[in-house]
Amino acid sequence: MRILRSVVEMQREAERLRLAGRTIGFVPTMGYLHAGHMSLVEHAKSATDVVILSIFVNPTQFGPSEDFAKYPRDFDKDRALAERAGVEILFHPANDEMYGNGFGTYVEEQASSRILEGMIRPGHFRGVTTVVAKLFNICKPHVAVFGQKDVQQAFIVKKMVRDLNLDVSVLVAPIARETDGLAMSSRNVYLTKQERSEAIALFQSLTMAQEKIKMGEQNAVRLRQEMESLIRSKGSPTIDYIAFVDPESFQEIDTVTGSTVLVAVAARYGTTRLIDNVLVEVR
């Protein structure tokens, strides 16, 4: 596995691979890799010839009061995991390499970026779309793989790809979970033992909502109340949202009428913010 830290070198290498007729799969990450990331690499490997994985904790997608500085980092461990997973090139640029002097051009999706995560974290998706556009221009992938856990991010990236005619196929891989159902996340390491056990309620509430929807419940207001009760019966997080979303338009709905509905939850246990979701096939 090669490690590249320079934008120009990475572009040159990506161009060389393309000219040699090899297809590039790309997995953008912020590092602190876990089994969820590894499953993204597996998806990329099965779709392309060469996998590039990037590790870059992107400052522009963190708000001023968020956890950019303390976001967990462990490059040596990440390098070992990436190598073992079959990553061919690890792209690991410094902040200055990505955001040089006078940086000032942003990519912004202006509809779906404003609700849910975008409402709670103003500017977050502008940072995401900007860095993903940059990484696509640097790594030149044929296929890029994102995780379903960040479902709004995946939707917005796909929208950006369509709107800006980026010639990249975006794959979305299922959520990897711990054995008790908690969605894997680099941020899980922040949780105290107590919070860790309380947080299982997020997935449990999603599973409950899924069962009720499949049994015919259409009232999102009632479902939300039941999910909230379940979550609060196990702990006392700050719930940022419990949302029912049309996965085609990414608009919130009050009544489940379509053939699929996305149920998404975001909650803070202490200072740790967790998100999770489930895509329900209604019929």
Q: Which residues are catalytic?
A: 37
Contact string 77-116 vs a copy of itself (x = CB under 8 A) = -----------------------x-xxxxxxxxxx-----
262, containing H or E segment = strand 260-269
Nearer to a copy of itself, 115 or 200 (CB): 115
Nearer to a copy of itself, 81 or 135 (CB): 135
Q: DSSP per residue over 128-161, as a string?
A: HHHHHHHHHHHH--SEEEEEGGGHHHHHHHHHHH
CB of 245 to a copy of itself, least distance (A): 16
Which stretch in 136-144, 180-188, 229-237, 252-260 sits in contact with a copy of itself by CB under 8 A? 136-144
Which stretch in 74-82, 163-171, 180-188, 222-230 sits in contact with a copy of itself by CB under 8 A? 163-171
Which stretch in 15-23, 169-177, 216-224, 259-267 sits in contact with a copy of itself by CB under 8 A? 15-23
Distance CA 230, CA 148 (A): 23
CB of 104 to a copy of itself, least distance (A): 5
CB of 49 to a copy of itself, least distance (A): 14
| Length of the chain in terms of residues written | 283
164 in Cβ contact with 133 (< 8 Å): yes
* Interface of this chain with a copy of itself, residues 114 to 133, rule: CB under 8 A: 129-130, 133
Distance CA 168, CA 45 (A): 15
Please list the residues that pair with 44 across neighbouring strands.
none
- Closest to 265 (Cα-Cα) out of 249, 273, 276: 276
274 in Cβ contact with 241 (< 8 Å): no
Binding stretches for a copy of itself (CB under 8 A): 7, 11, 15, 18-19, 21, 100, 102-111, 129-130, 133-134, 137-138, 140, 159-160, 162-167
